[in-house]
């Protein structure tokens, strides 16, 4: 399913915050993305209604299976593209910014090819 870039960014942020802190609340997302709390609240409502997140009675946000799949895909793209660009000589800051844009538009086919190429050049990155 194709979702908007902003939704992918929110899901990726929830994944990263959960990995970092063990729990996620709307205020954490607002602080991480430097967005207003009302904007994050609207986005969380939309993500919840579309089945990508769940919010418990303590307002803790968790990814559903569908949300986690998207978040992991976007995060993998971001980390691999950022790292790959840096190996090509791009500064860490520029690589991260470019990867953030590229992660949303690159096709699965092109990403798989870049991933194969990056892993062939760096045996340490092979996980499987």
- Give tens-digit pLDDT for 72-83: 999 999 999 999
* Tokens standing for residue 127: 């996980």
What's the domain range around 36?
5-69
- Residues of the chain above pLDDT 90, percent: 85
Q: Mean of the per-residue pLDDT values for the chain?
A: 91
**CA-CA-CA-CA torsion sign (60, 65, 70, 71):** positive
- The reply to whether 14 and 52 lie within a common domain is yes
Question: What pLDDT is recorded for position 122?
Answer: 62
* Tokens standing for residue 67: 């949300």
Q: Would you put residue 81 in left (φ > 0), alpha (ψ -120 to 50) or beta?
A: alpha
- The reply to whether 28 and 76 lie within a common domain is no
- The reply to whether 25 and 78 lie within a common domain is no
Question: What pLDDT is recorded for position 120?
Answer: 84
- The reply to whether 53 and 87 lie within a common domain is no
Question: What pLDDT is recorded for position 19?
Answer: 97
Q: d(Cα 53, Cα 68) in Å, to the nearest integer?
A: 8
pTM of the predicted structure, to 2 decimals: 0.85
- The reply to whether 47 and 78 lie within a common domain is no
Q: How many domains does the chain have?
A: 2
Any idea what the CATH number is for the domain that residue 100 is in? 1.10.60.10
Question: What pLDDT is recorded for position 28?
Answer: 97
- The reply to whether 43 and 24 lie within a common domain is yes
Query: Which of 69, 93, 109 is the endpoint of a domain?
Result: 69
Question: Does the pLDDT of residue 125 top 80, yes or no?
Answer: no
- The reply to whether 56 and 89 lie within a common domain is no
Query: Which of 52, 69, 86 is the endpoint of a domain?
Result: 69
Query: Which of 69, 84, 111 is the endpoint of a domain?
Result: 69
User: What does the pLDDT look like over 28-57, one tens digit per residue?
Assistant: 999 999 999 999 999 999 999 999 999 999
């Amino acid at each position: 399913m194709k979702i908007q870039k902003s939704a992918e960014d929110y899901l990726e942020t929830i994944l990263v915050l959960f990995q970092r802190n063990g729990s996620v609340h709307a205020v954490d997302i607002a602080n991480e993305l430097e967005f207003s709390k009302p904007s994050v609240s609207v986005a969380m409502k939309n993500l919840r209604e579309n089945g990508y997140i769940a919010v418990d009675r303590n307002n803790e946000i968790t990814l559903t299976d569908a949300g986690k799949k998207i978040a992991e895909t976007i995060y993998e793209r971001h980390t691999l593209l950022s790292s790959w660009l840096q190996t090509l000589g791009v500064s860490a800051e520029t690589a991260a910014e470019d990867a953030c844009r590229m992660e949303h538009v690159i096709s699965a086919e092109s990403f798989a090819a870049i991933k194969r190429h990056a892993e062939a050049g760096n045996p340490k990155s092979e996980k499987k």
